Amino acid sequence: MTERLTIRRPDDWHLHLRDGEMLKGVLPHSARDFARAIIMPNLVPPVVRGDDARAYRDRILAALPEGADFTPLMTLYLTEDTDPDDVAEAHASGLVTAVKLYPAGATTNSASGVRDFDKVQGVLERMAEIGLPLCVHGEVTHADVDIFDREAVFIDEVLDPIRRATPGLRVVMEHITTEDAAEYVTEATGDIGATITIQHLMLDRNDMLAGGIRPHFYCLPILKRGTHRPALVEAATGGNPRFFLGTDSAPHATDLKENACGCAGCFTAPIALSCLTEVFDEAGALDRLEGFASLHGPAFYGLPVNQATITLEKGAPIDFSDSVPTGAGPVTVFNPGRPVHWRVAS
């Protein structure tokens, strides 16, 4: 049995840091274990223009603990008024690594997102020309579509038509949650990848709903039927370079999660690598952990692999912290409700 494992330092290809006091409180937990992260732009107001991304990056860098080695990879929030020239300029300067598509109303702070996809076609065409990836929150928001079906419907009604209409567009389907999405990414032609979260690899909707509602498992896209989780684990652990780690760690103050209309998001950053290694160990795929966590993402984004390493050790079950203090209130740390034996040693 492997008791100690060293891999290249991983990256997080989908991360929420928020802003202000929340940013200051949660950033150290990602910066400790990850070398780089794709930073989500759904602030209030959102990060729409290059100047917004530059200012947000400066605030992140200013909040880093002394001596931390962490690079925020900035994104722009796609709106129906996004200027293709501004996007191209931000990309050419090295400031922006991707653009994020939120269907309006799909998740936290998505009100400024896209309603009419025809209105962003010009931006998508420019992105295809310059090779700038589009990161997609893949859900429709029609009231007549069940929340558990929104991802599968999005693939058929939105994502596939966009990709057919925009040859060469590089797409990351973020935080996939279904067998449908795993199959689509595996079988699709063209330049496409997908991220998978910790919670979707470890849990299904029974974990969230059976025996009482567990608000700290509530996220969007929502946890699905148990038949989907094995397909996600197979995609993550199977060695396919189209799949890579995006934690979607999404902090909210505990009182905003534990109320009558709780916020969507799981704060997984402090324990992400421990939980991920547990999943790969259970699948008998520790030899493929480095690919999913450290190699596939840089390859898709055209970035160098990290030269530094990180070591994980297996032992007695770890003690999960209840919460992380921040100036915006305590944030409850994700706990999968079962033993996790791996911890980051160095």
191 to 186, 198, 277, 318: CA distances (angstroms): 11, 24, 27, 39
Query: Please, is 260 exposed, middle or buried when counting C-beta atoms within 10 Å of its C-beta (0-12, 13-18, 19+)?
Result: exposed
Tokens at residue 112, please? Answer: 């400024």
Q: Which of 12, 33, 204, 248 is catalytic?
A: 248
Identify the pLDDT of residue 111: 81
What is the C-alpha to C-alpha distance for residues 170 and 163, in angstroms, rounded to an integer?
Answer: 9
What is the C-alpha to C-alpha distance for residues 226 and 200, in angstroms, rounded to an integer?
Answer: 10
Q: Is 248 a catalytic residue?
A: yes
Identify the pLDDT of residue 105: 82
| Annotation: CATH topology of 4-344 | TIM Barrel (3.20.20)
pTM, two decimals, is 0.97
Quickly tell me which residue has 């840089």 as its tokens: 298
Task: Locate the domains of the chain by residue range.
Answer: 4-344
What is the C-alpha to C-alpha distance for residues 9 and 28, in angstroms, rounded to an integer?
Answer: 16
Q: 213-240: buried (b, 16+ CB within 10 Å) or exposed (e) per residue?
A: eebbbbbbbbbbeeebbebbbbbbbeeb
Confirm if 220 and 264 have CB atoms less than 8 A apart: yes
For residue 172, which phi and psi values (nearest 5 degrees)? -115, 115
Establish how many alpha carbons lie within 13 A of residue 231's alpha carbon, considering only the half-sphere containing its beta carbon: 16
Identify the pLDDT of residue 1: 56
Bridge-based pairing state of the strands 243-245 and 309-314: unpaired
Quickly tell me which residue has 């203090």 as its tokens: 325
pLDDT digits (tens, 9 = 90+) for 241-290: 999 999 999 999 999 999 999 999 999 999 999 999 999 999 999 999 99
Residues of the chain with pLDDT under 70: 1-2, 346
